[in-house]
Structure 1
Amino acid sequence: MHELQSLLGEYDCARGYTNELWRDLTPDEVVWRPREDFSAIGWHLGHQAHVAHFMIRNLTAAEPSPDPELDGLMDSANPEKFRGALPTVERLTAFREAVAKRVHARIGDIAAGKVGAPTQMTIVATHLLTALINHEYQHDQRIGEVRAEHFGHTLPADPDSDHVRRIDGYHAWARSCHDWMT
């Protein structure tokens, strides 16, 4: 139970870092694309939440999407040119917040043993959260590159976590570098 709560804190840390990368950008900067077949910062933001929703839904609880209209748009299996227009910053923010609340609620239920097969679900939830944290940081890399290289904004300080390291140039969560070598 303690490990899941700790991982939820790391998930919040990763999401907080993402927010530092984009919350001060203008709506035009959030939807701007450097090239035609290039994803905007706004797509990365929605995609991070979309993946979190689908992982929770498919691995722990069959739940409806908090915004079904965004599902196809934020799915990386759909080529950029077929995704459609990005939603407003307000809608992206609401989507990200709704998904985060669902992640917390479902992982909280697992941590409290309020699920069938609680030991098995704890194992699933531990790996699920690790994947969500690292997926968040994976897309933060691109958001940060566009923020700095194209808009000239400074990058925030690295995430405040004893477990976040740079691996292959990306922030990644791991208890130690040894975790990635075994």
Structure 2
Amino acid sequence: MDRVEKILKDPFYQECIAKNEVKEAKRKFCKHAFQHMVDVARVAYILIMEAKELKNFIIQNNLGIREKAREVIYAAALLHDIARWHEYETGEDHAVKGAEIAEDILKRAGFDNREITIICQAIKEHRGSFTENMSLLGEYLHRADNLSRSCYFCPAKAECYKFDDMETGVKAILY
């Protein structure tokens, strides 16, 4: 996962992660730090494997080999909340801005234009409600984003507007 390693070492990626942490330092609800992004990556990959969708994902997106598919999945997850800090500053949807920011990071990491399109589409789709028009990666990224949270044990769950809609509010742990 050399290209994923390049994302993690990208100075602008690291800057965005740091900005997220600063903007959310006093936030009592779920945060969008690096660990959340890693959790989303792992859960998304597990979901795709459990659904036996990896081969379909590889063929559908002409990725060729499993390693490329894994890099694409991890890249989308590691970048999905990269612009959360920007949303706090401007009100602009972090999913849309995140896809824009991700493009340059992905180019520097060595992803090709086709892979960048797949990843950025999933980043745009991860927020909001599930729709039937979502890409396969967008669908799994969206679900993994929710499943990565420990809502059941959250001290702020009584005040959280999302709690009743979260699967992890009903069951303590799913993944």
Q: TM-score range by the shorter chain?
A: 0.3 to 0.5
Structure having the higher helix fraction is 2
Higher relative contact order (CA 8 A, sep 6+): 1
Structure having the higher strand fraction is 1
Report which of the two structures shows the higher radius of gyration computed on alpha carbons: 1
User: TM-score of the superposition, structure 1-length normalised?
Assistant: 0.33
User: TM-score of the superposition, structure 2-length normalised?
Assistant: 0.34
